[in-house]
Structure 1
Amino acid sequence: MEKQQPPEGQDGSAAAGGPPTCYRHPDRETGIRCTRCERPICPDCMIGASVGFQCPECVRQGSGTGHHTAAARPRTLAGGGVAADPRLITKILIALNLIVFVVVWARPEFLDDLLLFGRATTDDPSAGYEGVAEGQWYRLVTSMFLHVEVWHIAFNMLGLWWLGGPLEAALGRVRYLALYLLSGLAGGALTYLIAGPAQGSLGASGAVFGLLGATAVLMRRMNYDLRPVVALLVVNLIFTFNPWGRIAWQAHVGGLVAGALIAIAMIHAPRERRNLVQYGACALVLLVVVIVVLARTAALT
């Protein structure tokens, strides 16, 4: 195949003799080039193809020819479909968190209905016990989108935006959404298992920590410098385990471990068994979550 020449002024080169930079993001150094036009591309721009990576322009040009078969269509690094908006799911998740935040701010009584806790009485003792142990499993999901303090949702949404975009582009929408939700569920399940039954837990931190673990796996796969993500992880763990805060460390640890394990399966799955390994890993994590919840429920009831 004849290679396309980079457009004038978009060769992605830094100063003479310097490392190449992404032609769409000149502030980002990269060692990856599009296999068709040879322009340097960063992780946000690279789109996995049958051989190497392609830039968004080449993918769009190839999609418009009508000569590619389904098997030859460019795929993401993890085998997902290439999307026109690589941050769509991230934007939807942020919007859902913000909507729930506004609803609870306007109607604080909804807090008890969405909060994650094992088993306790609410403001009305005559209503009996409530919680996950009483069959309210939905709390494992609703608590992932629940925030009360402005600083809490601000930090989580910034983390979701910074980490989620590159991961969504690398994994594809379906795989990325599975990673996010399963990381949040794993964090909630570990909190339910270890925390006191009346201790409330809320926030997207478990899911965001899952994205952090997945980011480390992705950067390792791309041979990028891991020191920035390791430093970010250390700082977050220091805040997680500080003796003065009221942070649910169980959610952070559970999400981090689940996110890293799922990302390993998604990014390193052999091409010939990719779907089996990827969705099998997701199913295994979900099975562990269900077993943990059932075991804890049996102990509380």
Structure 2
Amino acid sequence: MDQAPGSPDRPQAAHGLPGCYRHPGRETGISCTRCERPICPECMVSASVGFQCPECVRTGSGTGHAPSASRPRTIAGAEVTGGDPRLVTKILLGVNAAVFLAVLADRTLADQLNLIALAFDPRLRDVVGVADGEWYRLLTSVFLHQQIWHIAFNMLGLWWLGGPLEAALGRVRYLALYLLSGLAGSTLVYLLAEPNQGALGASGAIWGLLGATAVLLRRLDYDLRPVIALLALNLLFTFTMPGISWEAHVGGLVGGTVIAFGMVHAPRERRTLVQAGVCALVLLAAVVAIVLRTQSLLT
């Protein structure tokens, strides 16, 4: 895309907002506090005041002694690392694909890994499910798909939403967001769905990423209308199309939104502690709900 005449450092994006100086096609309303070049979430580095571009962080813009220059961090406080910015996203894609291929090779794996609260399996002549002690199903089901369209749709969402979030949050925080969102979705399914109703898929985790994207864009003062429209459209499909576990979608959305809010709005002085505390609270809420539901099913 052509840059604005006379402004080589401020490329113009399609809808009027400036484009990132490193990624001209990405609209952004954030500029480096030192050189004022526009920067997107992947390029921005958290500083004592505002955000800086990678070049100013690397050179220190003449000061070189600021803590932010020696330890560049993302908007969520994670240290900026080199290498592939989508490493965790690619690993998650690989795990989902590997489980999908394993299920194609052995269809019985789906029955062993899907989310089911409590049911009698005639083939095993035994009771199976989370309430019977198979708690691992709450997470294994998040990586489980049986139809090609199902995994394709979810992995497209993971690739589209995951990369920017991984760059903005950092690898560890991003992985925690994904796994806890998936667990939150599974927990709501376990609480509200029929005990013998099976559920599977990464939808809960993907909806968590969608909620986190809305929180991040709001934090960066971006236009939220496209994300709101996408949320509304997906909610419409969730509640009108048969065979969709709305509990997983809503649970993942709520969990991901809460976690992301805690990550990007945590105070700088106690940022890591607050972020860990928010994740722990979401995990604790899920565990308490699971235990109570299990007791109700077994009594």
Q: Would you say same fold, with TM above 0.5?
A: yes
Question: Which of 197, 200, 215 pairs up with 2:195?
Answer: 197
The residue type paired with residue 275 of structure 1 is: T
SS in 1 for 2:261: helix
After superposition, the Cα gap between the structure-2 partners of 1:150 and 1:56, relative to the gap in structure 1 and judged at 3 Å, is farther
Q: Structure 1 residue 57: deviation in Å?
A: 4.0
Give the gaps of 5 or more residues in structure 1.
1-7
| Corresponding position of 2:266 | 269
**Residue 286 (str. 1) matches residue 283 (str. 2):** yes
| Corresponding position of 2:204 | 206
| Corresponding position of 2:145 | 147
| Corresponding position of 2:245 | 248
Contact 1:77 1:267 in 2 (8 A): yes
Q: Structure 1 residue 70: deviation in Å?
A: 8.5
After superposition, the Cα gap between the structure-2 partners of 1:69 and 1:291, relative to the gap in structure 1 and judged at 3 Å, is same
Q: Structure 1 residue 12: deviation in Å?
A: 2.7
In the aligned structure 2, how far is the partner of 1:123 from the partner of 1:67?
69
| Corresponding position of 1:220 | 218
After superposition, the Cα gap between the structure-2 partners of 1:298 and 1:71, relative to the gap in structure 1 and judged at 3 Å, is farther
In the aligned structure 1, how far is the partner of 2:291 from the partner of 2:186?
13
| Corresponding position of 1:131 | 129
In the aligned structure 1, how far is the partner of 2:297 from the partner of 2:232?
34
96-105 vs 26-35, which moves further: 26-35
Q: Structure 1 residue 37: deviation in Å?
A: 3.8
Trace 1:24-63 onto structure 2 (pairs within 5 A). Answer: 24-60=22-58
SS in 2 for 1:241: helix
Trace 1:115-126 onto structure 2 (pairs within 5 A). Answer: 115-126=114-125
Contact 1:81 1:173 in 2 (8 A): no
Contact 1:205 1:252 in 2 (8 A): yes
In the aligned structure 1, how far is the partner of 2:106 from the partner of 2:7?
54
After superposition, the Cα gap between the structure-2 partners of 1:196 and 1:170, relative to the gap in structure 1 and judged at 3 Å, is same
Q: Structure 1 residue 201: deviation in Å?
A: 0.4
The residue type paired with residue 201 of structure 2 is: G
The residue type paired with residue 112 of structure 1 is: D
Question: Which of 2, 11, 18 pairs up with 1:13?
Answer: 11
Q: Structure 1 residue 66: deviation in Å?
A: 9.5
Q: TM-score, normalised by structure 2?
A: 0.90
SS in 1 for 2:72: coil
| Corresponding position of 2:88 | 89
SS in 2 for 1:129: strand
SS in 2 for 1:50: coil
The residue type paired with residue 77 of structure 1 is: I
- Tell me how large the CA RMSD over aligned residues is: 2.2
After superposition, the Cα gap between the structure-2 partners of 1:123 and 1:155, relative to the gap in structure 1 and judged at 3 Å, is same
After superposition, the Cα gap between the structure-2 partners of 1:195 and 1:70, relative to the gap in structure 1 and judged at 3 Å, is same
49-58 vs 92-101, which moves further: 49-58
Count residues in correspondence: 288
In the aligned structure 2, how far is the partner of 1:280 from the partner of 1:73?
24
Contact 1:97 1:146 in 2 (8 A): yes
In the aligned structure 1, how far is the partner of 2:265 from the partner of 2:274?
9
Contact 2:165 2:213 in 1 (8 A): yes
| Corresponding position of 2:112 | 113
Contact 1:160 1:208 in 2 (8 A): yes
The residue type paired with residue 225 of structure 1 is: D
SS in 2 for 1:175: helix
| Corresponding position of 1:296 | 293
The residue type paired with residue 268 of structure 2 is: R
Q: Structure 1 residue 58: deviation in Å?
A: 4.1
Q: Percent identity among equivalent residues?
A: 66
Contact 2:47 2:68 in 1 (8 A): no
In the aligned structure 2, how far is the partner of 1:103 from the partner of 1:61?
49
In the aligned structure 1, how far is the partner of 2:51 from the partner of 2:67?
18
Q: Structure 1 residue 50: deviation in Å?
A: 2.8
Give the gaps of 5 or more residues in structure 2.
1-5
In the aligned structure 2, how far is the partner of 1:158 from the partner of 1:131?
30
The C-alpha deviation readout for 1:180-200, integer Å capped at 9, x for no partner, is 111100100110011011100
Contact 2:57 2:69 in 1 (8 A): no
After superposition, the Cα gap between the structure-2 partners of 1:123 and 1:55, relative to the gap in structure 1 and judged at 3 Å, is farther
The residue type paired with residue 260 of structure 2 is: A
SS in 2 for 1:14: coil
